[in-house]
C-alpha cells in the first residue's frame, strides 16, 4: 500500500509539475501576446498621429491654395478694373481733347503743375456742368423735334385720308 501511495504521490507530483509548467508557458504566451498587442496599439497610435499630421498639412496647403487663388483673382479683378478705368479715361480724354486743346496752347504743362489744383478742379467741374446742361438742353430739343415731326406726319396722313373721303 505504501507503494501505491508513493506511486500516487509521484503521479500527483508529476501532474502538478506538468500543470505548473503549462501554466507558466501559457502565462509566457499571454505576456508575449500582450506585449505584441501593446506594440500594435502603439504602432497604430503613431500611424494615426502621422495620418492626422498629413491631413492637417494637406488642409493647410488647400487653404493656402484657396487663399492664393482668391488673392490672385482679386488682383486680376483690380487690374482689369484699372485697365477699364484707364480705357475710359483715355476715351474721355480723346473726346474732350479738343476742348482742352486751348488750355494746352495757353499754358504749358509745367505751368499746369504750378497752378493751384483746387481752383483748376473747380473750374473744370463748372465747365463739365455747363457742358452737361447744354447736352441736356439739346436732348430735350431733339425729343421735342421728333415729337413735332411725328405729329406733322400724323396730321398730314390724316389730311390725306380726309381728302380721299
The pLDDT value recorded for residue 110 is 54
Whole-angstrom Cα distance, residue 83 to residue 87? Answer: 6
Whole-angstrom Cα distance, residue 135 to residue 11? Answer: 128
The pLDDT value recorded for residue 142 is 95
Q: What is the pTM of this model?
A: 0.37
Mean per-residue pLDDT pooled into runs of 10, the chain (165 residues): 88 92 94 94 94 94 93 91 83 57 52 67 91 94 94 86 69
If phi > 0 it is left, if psi is from -120 to 50 it is alpha, else beta; for residue 116 that is: beta
The pLDDT value recorded for residue 165 is 60
Cell of 50: 502621422
The pLDDT value recorded for residue 32 is 95
Amino acid at each position: 500500500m505504501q507503494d501505491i501511495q508513493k506511486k500516487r504521490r509521484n503521479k500527483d507530483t508529476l501532474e502538478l509539475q506538468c500543470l505548473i509548467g503549462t501554466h507558466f508557458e501559457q502565462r509566457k504566451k499571454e505576456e508575449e501576446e500582450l506585449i505584441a498587442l501593446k506594440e500594435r496599439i502603439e504602432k497604430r497610435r503613431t500611424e494615426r498621429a502621422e495620418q492626422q499630421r498629413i491631413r492637417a498639412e494637406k488642409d493647410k496647403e488647400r487653404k493656402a491654395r484657396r487663399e492664393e487663388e482668391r488673392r490672385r483673382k482679386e488682383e486680376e479683378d483690380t487690374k482689369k478694373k484699372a485697365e477699364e478705368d484707364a480705357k475710359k479715361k483715355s476715351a474721355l480724354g480723346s473726346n474732350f481733347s479738343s476742348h482742352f486743346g486751348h488750355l494746352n496752347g495757353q499754358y504749358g504743362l509745367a505751368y499746369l503743375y504750378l497752378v493751384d489744383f483746387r481752383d483748376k478742379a473747380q473750374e473744370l467741374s463748372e465747365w463739365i456742368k455747363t457742358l452737361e446742361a447744354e447736352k441736356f438742353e439739346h436732348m430735350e430739343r431733339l425729343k421735342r423735334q421728333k415729337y413735332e415731326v411725328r405729329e406733322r406726319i400724323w396730321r398730314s396722313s390724316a389730311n390725306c385720308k380726309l381728302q380721299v373721303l
